[in-house]
């Protein structure tokens, strides 16, 4: 069995692409699965995937994690040392319009991956959870042991379900399951449905941007390179000895939306035209996380500053979309 063959689902997605690239650069064999759906511009997914496909040690299956037969076949033909499940229907607002796809991919699809791991003896799985499961918790900073029984979107509810399901599999089947509560991940190749992408695009085109709650919103942003570094370290950490873990993955600094817009204005050298709207019911006002739990398991000296991260994003955006 190849000692370092891993599976990354959602490999053509934003985080999956960066993570696959990182593991490939570290000489791992990476099998990627993605259904390349059109939730957002498919061209971006195809472009990310075409970069990964240049690596000899990358093997790609265009398939759906809901397809049990195909998933089991892939597991049968590839002996995985580690599985990282990132494939999901992401997005908070879309879950109001389109609830079923969340249940199908995030819950049913996740169970398919777990069942395949069980059958083909994969002993370690990392999976994406989300900061959204803290709901309207106002006990700052968010800690992993805080109550997360009050999600305020269906997306968050499916991620909370993933953590509960993971608990069952780790308990009964002796599989190590590590839940990653990502906090607003951003950076080059980022998601077109997220605010950094939308704001940058509209500001560059002199179009209006919608700002909720008068800009009195706060997010703990996490730069993609930091996410990749943390997930890589976690997947190799010898300090993971128990079967069930959950970690906040964040930059640990809460940034006010108005400041973040100012940074985009600065790096695009343009002024934003704002439309102010009241806060959406399903949106949380503030996220800020504690990473003290993570620090017990991995060492990471520095996280990327928001100022540098946004500069890198704007640079990438202008280059990718050929904007002068």
Ligand X SMILES: NC(=O)c1ccc[n+]([C@@H]2O[C@H](COP(=O)([O-])OP(=O)(O)OC[C@H]3O[C@@H](n4cnc5c(N)ncnc54)[C@H](O)[C@@H]3O)[C@@H](O)[C@H]2O)c1
Q: Is 92 in the site for ligand X (CB under 6 A)?
A: no
Task: Establish if 89 lies at the interface with ligand X (CB under 6 A).
Answer: yes
Nearer to ligand X, 7 or 33 (CB): 33
The residue (of 27 and 80) whose beta carbon lies closer to ligand X is: 80
- The piece of 8-16, 116-124, 268-276, 316-324 that touches ligand X (CB under 6 A) is 8-16
What residues from 32 to 71 belong to the interface with ligand X (CB under 6 A)? 33-37, 45, 64-66
Q: Quote the CA–CA distance of 146 and 142 in Å, as a whole number.
A: 7
Name the residue nearer to ligand X (CB basis): 73 or 270: 73
Spatial contact of 251 and 215, defined as CB atoms under 8 Å apart = no
Choice from 6, 7, 8, 13 touching ligand X (CB under 6 A): 13
Q: Is 154 in the site for ligand X (CB under 6 A)?
A: no
Confirm whether 155 is a catalytic residue: yes
Contact between 15 and ligand X by CB under 6 A: the answer reads yes
Residue 182 near ligand X by CB under 6 A: yes
292 in Cβ contact with 227 (< 8 Å): no
Those residues with Cβ within 8 angstroms of residue 310's Cβ, 6 or more apart along the chain or in another chain: 186, 196, 260, 263, 264, 267
Counting contacts by CB under 6 A, is residue 14 touching ligand X? yes
Answer whether 271's CB lies under 8 Å from 265's CB: yes
DSSP string, 256-310: EHHHHHHHHHHHHT---EEEEEPPPTTS-SB--B--HHHHTT--------HHHHH
In angstroms, rounded to a whole number, what is the distance separating the alpha carbons of residues 321 and 279?
31
Instruction: Pick the closer one to ligand X by CB: 204 or 227.
Output: 227
CA distance 314 to 84: 29
Decide if residue 10 touches ligand X (CB under 6 A): yes
| Extended beta strands in the chain, E state | 5-9, 29-34, 58-62, 82-85, 124-130, 176-182, 185-186, 208-212, 218-220, 222-223, 244-249, 254-256, 273-277
Q: Which of 155, 186, 223, 245 is catalytic?
A: 155
Near ligand X by CB under 6 A: residue from 74, 185, 196, 264: 185
d(CA 69, CA 244): 27
Whole-number minimum distance, CB 13 to ligand X, in Å?
2
| Cβ at position 206, least distance to ligand X in Å | 27
Interface segment toward ligand X; rule CB under 6 A; list 86-94, 112-120, 164-172, 276-284:
86-94
For ligand X, the nearest residue by Cβ is: 13
Cis ω for the linkage preceding 141 (within 30 of 0):
yes
Among 59, 176, 191, 219, binds ligand X (CB under 6 A): 191
- The residue whose two tokens read 């040690």 is 57
* Closest distance of CB 159 from ligand X, Å: 7
Within 8 A by CB and 6+ apart from 58, the residues are 20, 24, 30, 31, 32, 52
109 binds ligand X (CB under 6 A): yes
Where on the chain is the footprint of ligand X (CB under 6 A)?
10, 12-16, 33-37, 45, 64-66, 86-90, 105, 109, 128, 130, 182, 184-185, 191
Q: Which residues are catalytic?
A: 155
């Amino acid at each position: 069995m190849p000692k370092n063959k891993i599976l990354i689902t959602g490999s053509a997605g934003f985080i999956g692409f960066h993570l696959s690239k990182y593991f490939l650069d570290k000489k791992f064999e990476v099998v990627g699965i993605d259904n390349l759906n059109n939730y957002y511009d498919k061209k971006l997914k195809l472009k990310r995937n075409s970069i990964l496909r240049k690596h000899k040690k990358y093997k790609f299956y265009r398939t759906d994690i809901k397809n049990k037969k195909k998933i089991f076949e892939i597991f049968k033909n590839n002996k995985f040392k580690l599985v990282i499940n990132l494939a999901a229907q992401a997005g908070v607002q879309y879950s109001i319009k389109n609830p079923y796809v969340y249940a199908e991919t995030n819950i049913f699809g996740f169970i398919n991956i777990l069942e395949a791991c069980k059958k083909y003896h994969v002993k370690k799985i990392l999976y994406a959870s989300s900061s959204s499961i803290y709901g309207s918790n106002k006990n700052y900073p968010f800690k992993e042991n805080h109550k997360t029984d009050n999600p305020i979107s269906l997306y968050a509810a499916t991620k909370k379900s993933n953590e509960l399901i993971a608990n069952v599999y780790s308990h009964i089947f002796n599989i190590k399951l590590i839940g990653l509560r990502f906090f607003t991940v951003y950076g080059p190749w980022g998601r077109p449905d997220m605010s950094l992408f939308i704001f940058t695009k509209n500001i560059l085109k002199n179009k209006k941007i919608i700002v909720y709650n008068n800009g009195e919103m706060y997010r703990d942003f996490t730069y993609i390179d930091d996410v990749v570094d943390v997930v890589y370290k976690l997947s190799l950490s010898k300090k993971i000895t128990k079967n069930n873990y959950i970690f906040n993955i964040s930059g640990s600094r809460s940034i006010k939306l108005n400041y973040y817009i100012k940074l985009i204005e600065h790096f695009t050298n343009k002024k934003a035209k704002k439309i102010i709207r009241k806060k959406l019911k399903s949106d949380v006002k503030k996220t800020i996380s504690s990473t003290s739990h993570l620090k017990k398991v991995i060492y990471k000296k520095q996280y990327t500053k928001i100022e540098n991260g946004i500069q890198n994003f704007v640079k990438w955006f202008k280059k990718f979309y050929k904007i002068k």
